[in-house]
Structure 1
Amino acid sequence: MKLKVTVLSVFLYTGLSAQNIQNNPGSNHGNRFEQLGTILPTPNIYRAASGAPGHGYWQNKADYDITAYLDEDKRNLKGSETITYYNNSPDDLEYIWLQLDENQQSTVKKADFPYSSTLPKSTNDQQLKATDLPIKDNGYGVILEKVTDLSGAPLKYTINQTMMRIDLPKALKKGEKLVFKVAWNYNIPDRIKMGGRGGYENFAEDGNDLYTMTQWYPRMCVYSDFHGWQNHQFTGRGEFALVFGNFKVSMNVPADHIVGGTGECKNYEQVLTSDQLARYRKAENANEPIEIVTLDDAKKAEKNHAKQRKTWNFEANDVRDFAWTSSRKFVWDGMRVIIPENNNKVMAMSFYPKEAYALYRKYSTKAVAHTIKTYSEFTIPYPYPVAQSVEAANGMEYPMICFNFGRTEKDGTYSEGTKNGMIGVVIHEVGHNFFPMIINSDERQWSWMDEGLNTFTEYLTEEKWDNKFPSKRGPAWTIVDYMKLPKDQLEPIMSNSENIVQFGPNAYSKPATGLNILRETIMGRELFDKAFKTYAKRWAFKHPEPADFFRTMEDASGEDLDWFWRGWFFGTDPVDIAIDKVTIATPDLNAIPQANETTYKVEKPLVNSFEDLSKIRNKEDKSITFFVDKDKELQDFYYRYDRGEEKVDNNKEYTVKADNTAALDNKDKEKFKNITAYQIDFVNKGGLVMPIILEFTFEDGTKLYDKSSAQIWRLNEQKVSKTYYFEKKLKSVQLDPMRETADIDTSNNFWSNDGTTSEISKFQVFKQKQQQAVRGGSNGKINPMQAAGKK
């Protein structure tokens, strides 16, 4: 889902759910490069150490057969469903959990996650009203009519806010299935006034509603190997953890409504006019969007409210959810898209009111097509038969259908910001078909696993849409303002959704930026793209956890990235690497070498100066015979020397002369005459380690580039130095010239040689004499055997 950051800044920080454990916090090294073994869960038969599903991996399944009745006059949804739940786990289940997400709209049934509040500096008449206590029921939320088994016998259930537990008459064992029925209804909220993902929007000018039916049916919670029942309350922010299954859904709506939904409609022949059906058949083979319901059709439908009704039948297989939309205001267009990787023929379609016509008619369906094709290149081939975009003044995603914004002015014009925002949100929400609709992470626990991974792939897709597209999430420089914030306004990416202050930057921007830094700066595109595709392939239609992603990215690339996950995902430190100092030196090519003389004494016996407890006990143990005592052939000079049986004068001084260098000849002097050395000292002010990327500019205007991997910090995480030898005079050094590491302070990233530097030192250069390599020798020193005249 695409959220606006400005709205989310009011949420209060309430704690973290993952810690960046450091094993050596008092040291200048050994923390940021510590492996994640103390943090990640232990691999097991369900989740392998490689990041792949283990040989014992399992997941449960739920199939739904649903009928829905949309009462437009009462703005009420009435539904009944038959759920078939398959227990593939190794556990006996005494109860099951379902989600009642619509209870979040209720004043009395919702999850109690309040926010702090203070006196306003000003307010308006709509907001100012007396505090109403006790809180009154506003009439929203799910009303359960019955919950029964297949025979109609009531099942005992308990509602806890947005969750419902059904207690089973007998345990559901491994390999068994449970079939039960639920009937319910609820008043559909005005989502423009009340907020939320689903509801209706009323168009006062023509008196019509546009319905987005989401989280509209009681649906199964996930039961998994890593969490058990994922029954965390729905508070409106953390999204969904859902079970894969097959859906059959019938929606009874006013006869002049057009319906779009997850999956394929199975009865277009009964619900469309002959002209609309003919245009749909034409669109199935079209390379350009064709209007199935035209603008004229939609304008005419707006004027009449039909009393008759129609039922639309949809089916969808291997999906985790079902959403739909209904309105008489819709223009509907579509075209065929072929996914090259699997030759899948997909119907890309868009539904939009006339208020969005000038934008959506031109861009929406083509953006849908571009998205599923591009995501298929970077992840897995799009497997579904349909991909749809609905203009509904918001942004939210579901399998094969999503809701987006993007309306024009009344005269049909629009700003560039509206156009780019509309294209971006269509790409983002359609992209959610991959994360998390197929690669099915737990959004309620780890928002970044769907929003962050999807925002990253959205960035790749925007780049392939238009090289000038002004992406705001993904490029490293765009995250800098967030990374500059005080630590009390930050939390690790590895935090629960409900406990994040700046939700947009934390769940969307920072993980997307981190993945882009991995791809462009740390791993390179080839290694990254292979690993990212491997993750998508391994976990398609499964339930991945963060460790599965981290481990797969390393397993498929051969890169140890624990330092990056630790810093970027588990920590809050920013990147701020500074050029602290540049020292210049030139070679002294006329240096005269001096032989080094060393005075020494012959080595004393190399026995330990202290006999430890083990040596004493071994010597006293009469059952032990030492090997060198048994084998006389091993008793050499040093055997006796260690025992004082060989005498050597250890006070006599000897002198050894090392003469291994020579003065440079004229040829070498000519070779090195233009060399200048530059020692560049770097300081890690921010705390987060990153590669050191340098652009060198020389006095003649030429440039050179160098990159040292982040491992340069492994022995000192606070400061490092790099020395370069150039034959041309260096004019300036720019650290991170392309702003690819999210450095929060670029003012300390530049050094310029302005010609006034007086601290230019000298370093001597000699010619190395060729010497015979000696391994284990004494480098010319007399050893005790020689001093004693023994062999």
Structure 2
Amino acid sequence: MKRILTLLVLGLMCSVSSFAQRSERNHAERFEQLGSMLRSPNVYRTASGAPGHMYWQQKADHEIEVELNDDNQSIKGWQKVTYFNNSPDQLTYLWIQLDQNERAADSNTPKMAQSSINSRVSMRQLEGIVWHDQDLGYKINSVKTMSGEDIPVTINNTMMRVDLPQPLKSGEKFEFTVDWAFNIHDRMSFIGGRPGYEFFEKDGNYLYTMAEWFPRMAVYSDFEGWQNKEFVGRGEFALTFGDYKVKITVPADHMVGSTGVLQNPEEVLSATELQRWEQAQKSYDKPVVIRTQAEAERLEKGKSKDKKTWIFHAENVRDFAWTSSRKFIWDAMAVKQGGKDVMAMSYYGKEGNPLWEQYSTRVVAHTLKSYSAKTFDYPYPVAISVEASNGMEYPMICFNYGRPDSDGTYTDAVKYGMISVIIHEVGHNYFPMIVNSDERQWTWMDEGLNTFMQFMAEQEWDRDYPSRRGPAHKIVSYMRSSQNLLEPIMTNSENIIQFGPNAYAKPATALNILRETVMGRELFDYAFKEYSQRWMFKHPTPEDLFRTLEDASGVDLDWFWKGWFFDTEPVDISLEAVNWYKLDNRTPAEKKADAKKAFDREESYVSKTYNAKDIEETVLEADPATRDFYNSYNPFSVTPEDEKAYRDFMARLSQEEKDLLNSGLNFYEMKFKNVGGLVMPLIIQFNYVDGTSEVERIPAQIWRLNETEVSKVFAKKKEVKNIVLDPFRETADIDESNNYWPRTFTPSRFELFKSAGGARGVSSGDNPMKRAQRK
């Protein structure tokens, strides 16, 4: 409805105020500064989010000799650890992670898991209930000083305390050795997990993904002391940087891919492979196949009894992983990064082709370029993708999935799933392998940030890329969940019900909203790169991220962190009402004419129509004595007093005020209600009668004084046809039906379908490619 706004005094005296009565707690809570919710700045971590002038972190160097037994799927190793105490504290013991014990017979992992019996139970579920009697977990044969003396240790599930012979003072180092062994488990079984082996029954060969394989130093930090929380499968790792020298002994016909740089290629590669490897180091436009599929298939048919030792060195890494199999095809290409060449490489069995030969290494190269442009130049010499029907990351190497049908065809979903997982796992080199956050405590700091980066890399790969996570509207179904199924992002990983949406999708969405809607790309990109570069090869906390993004951009984001990271409220902002006003610049004659029309409309009703025929004569018509002044008075006629008042009013106006009065502006008073609770900016699209559109962006701070209801008036030269709130689906609004004026209603649809399932990342059954080949 259009209303006329009367200009009563000089200028436009139109105030915009909240249309709701404020309660005692309807404002300030969501906009209070985080304050005591964050750790206090100190000499180690500044209030700006940067490392302090006394920042320190520990270091642990490793020399490891390990041998793989391909006959009984076991491994034995020996390692020398040099631990540097760079902290200001004196240490009386060290903590070491024994992650293989998570699969031991007495592991707490199955004990902590809920279980139930239904009328139908799969064998995998049943195996999980009875657990297993396999001989898994570490056998720690010895922990000794360099002089050969035994060191007392205490093993508590997946953690081992090493009691030092004497206190390790600040600035000192301690060297010790560990001798260990364990049986490698079948990661394709109910035990699952990322490391282990996969057995290929058709050719009788194994593919080993050796991760979490050696006793690893826990982190001792300024903000937590020892991170010695038990590993039970979900909360991943907090690890210490160091340099590695690793000798890996495997069957002579195996191919090994690893963290670090191969030191003896001439000893482990054939002359042909060595020539191709040298060629690959000069190939920047496409991968060079170093071991072909035909060569790998020939090796699959025989098992060498000889052994080879592969030697790798890696500097400044927080972990070390490797893979080994005679099944591997190997290709590689060079990627320019910061004035040096990085080798992008892939290892995969024939089961991965043709997908892997076409895409994997190219995707690795693309990921390095995309991530580096937004953070820092990739500092390591290699980046490896391994096809292992898996998805897990380690420095310079990751294990990924994506297998076509046996005839080489595949679904679109398998192709894009493979590309996405490669981007994601290679991207983990940046977060947390280099920007080394504590995954055991804050899964989102690596998974969420990496998923955000993955989304941008996917879009750079293909304009129509079907990204699953990142765009705001794709988190809506999770945000709609019942509150008893939700936790804040700032929740320990073991305590999260919906792990993927909480730790991956929601933080990625939040960062995308910051970049696109709250801060804008220029401010966000600068601040995010600043955070990445500040905390390269260091241990950041959430406070360091929050503070850096604010410090480098000049944007107050405490309200955003509180709503998105510390709470579970959803976004649901309703456009409650729109009132349309115009300035009243009519002459007295025009006002009286409009009033007459309004009166006639008001007094026009059905009874009058019938009475005109049914009442032959009224009392007033029959008896003149019942008439007085008002029966002949015309309230709609213009009087001399009306004309004078109008002339006097116009005479008092300045020319500027006259121009405003005659501008023809339309004033739209819009009332908004915060139904969901999470405050967000208002993005409003005005669609005009003439077919044009305009978007207004109102900062979230409009909610500061009333977090429940606000109003805002907009002056528009054009007449509005309709209004849409959040037209580009930027804010993750869970109910878009209340985002329209006038209200728009569309039917919901449902369809019948037959459910189907299959192994993750494996193409099976019919697909468009298969059907096309049949024609």
Q: TM-score range by the shorter chain?
A: 0.7 to 0.9
* Alignment map for 1:246-395 (pairs within 5 Å): 246-287=243-284, 288-339=286-337, 342-395=338-391
Aligned partners of 1:679 and 1:507: how far apart in 2? 40
Q: What letter is aligned with 2:475?
A: I
Aligned partners of 2:666 and 2:473: how far apart in 1? 34
Cα pair 1:108 1:137 within 8 Å, conserved: no
Q: What does residue 164 of structure 1 align with?
A: 160
5+ residue gaps, structure 2: 1-21, 589-647, 745-775
* Alignment map for 1:104-503 (pairs within 5 Å): 104-110=102-108, 114-124=112-122, 127-128=125-126, 137-193=133-189, 194-287=191-284, 288-339=286-337, 342-503=338-499
Cα pair 1:111 1:161 within 8 Å, conserved: no
Q: What does residue 46 of structure 1 align with?
A: 44
The Cα shift of 1:467 comes to 1.1
Q: What does residue 5 of structure 2 align with?
A: none
Q: What letter is aligned with 2:652?
A: A
Aligned partners of 1:720 and 1:126: how far apart in 2? 54
Question: Residues 673, 241 of structure 1: CA spacing in aligned structure 2 closer, same or farther, 3 A cutoff?
Answer: closer
The alignment covers a number of residue pairs equal to 662
SS in 2 for 1:436: helix
SS in 2 for 1:307: coil
Q: What does residue 676 of structure 1 align with?
A: 666
SS in 2 for 1:565: helix
Q: What does residue 62 of structure 2 align with?
A: 64
SS in 2 for 1:98: strand
Q: What letter is aligned with 1:156?
A: P
5+ residue gaps, structure 1: 1-23, 593-657, 755-791
Q: What letter is aligned with 1:153?
A: E
Cα pair 1:349 1:387 within 8 Å, conserved: yes
Percent identity for Structure 1 against Structure 2 = 55
Deviations 1:636-670 (A, max 9, x none): xxxxxxxxxxxxxxxxxxxxxx9999368899379
Q: What does residue 607 of structure 2 align with?
A: none
Q: What letter is aligned with 1:350?
A: S
Question: Residues 683, 80 of structure 1: CA spacing in aligned structure 2 closer, same or farther, 3 A cutoff?
Answer: same
Q: What does residue 705 of structure 1 align with?
A: 695
Higher percent of residues as helix: 2
1:568 to 549, 564, 581: 564
Aligned partners of 2:292 and 2:139: how far apart in 1? 38
SS in 1 for 2:179: strand
* Alignment pair present for 1:752 and 2:750: no
The Cα shift of 1:126 comes to 6.0
Cα pair 2:101 2:138 within 8 Å, conserved: yes
Question: Residues 546, 126 of structure 1: CA spacing in aligned structure 2 closer, same or farther, 3 A cutoff?
Answer: closer
Aligned partners of 1:332 and 1:102: how far apart in 2? 28
Deviations 1:127-169 (A, max 9, x none): 557976xx87531000011110001110000000000001111
TM (normalized to structure 2)? Answer: 0.83
Question: Residues 198, 487 of structure 1: CA spacing in aligned structure 2 closer, same or farther, 3 A cutoff?
Answer: same
Aligned partners of 1:351 and 1:457: how far apart in 2? 24
Aligned partners of 1:199 and 1:262: how far apart in 2? 17
The Cα shift of 1:38 comes to 1.8
Q: What letter is aligned with 1:163?
A: M
The Cα shift of 1:466 comes to 1.1
SS in 2 for 1:519: helix
SS in 2 for 1:337: strand
Aligned partners of 1:129 and 1:516: how far apart in 2? 41
Aligned partners of 2:63 and 2:303: how far apart in 1? 29
* Alignment pair present for 1:728 and 2:725: no
Cα pair 2:737 2:743 within 8 Å, conserved: no
Q: What letter is aligned with 1:295?
A: Q
Deviations 1:261-295 (A, max 9, x none): 00111011000110011000100101210100011
Q: What does residue 743 of structure 1 align with?
A: 733
Q: What letter is aligned with 1:336?
A: A
Q: What does residue 627 of structure 2 align with?
A: none
Aligned partners of 1:125 and 1:104: how far apart in 2? 21
Aligned partners of 1:49 and 1:241: how far apart in 2? 24
Cα pair 1:554 1:560 within 8 Å, conserved: yes
Cα pair 2:329 2:347 within 8 Å, conserved: yes
Task: Please give the root-mean-square deviation of Cα atoms over the aligned residues, in Å.
Answer: 2.0
Q: What letter is aligned with 1:251?
A: I
The Cα shift of 1:123 comes to 1.6
Q: What does residue 75 of structure 1 align with?
A: 73
Q: What does residue 599 of structure 2 align with?
A: none
Question: Residues 124, 38 of structure 1: CA spacing in aligned structure 2 closer, same or farther, 3 A cutoff?
Answer: closer
Deviations 1:391-441 (A, max 9, x none): 000000000000000111001111110000000000000000000000000
Q: What letter is aligned with 1:71?
A: N
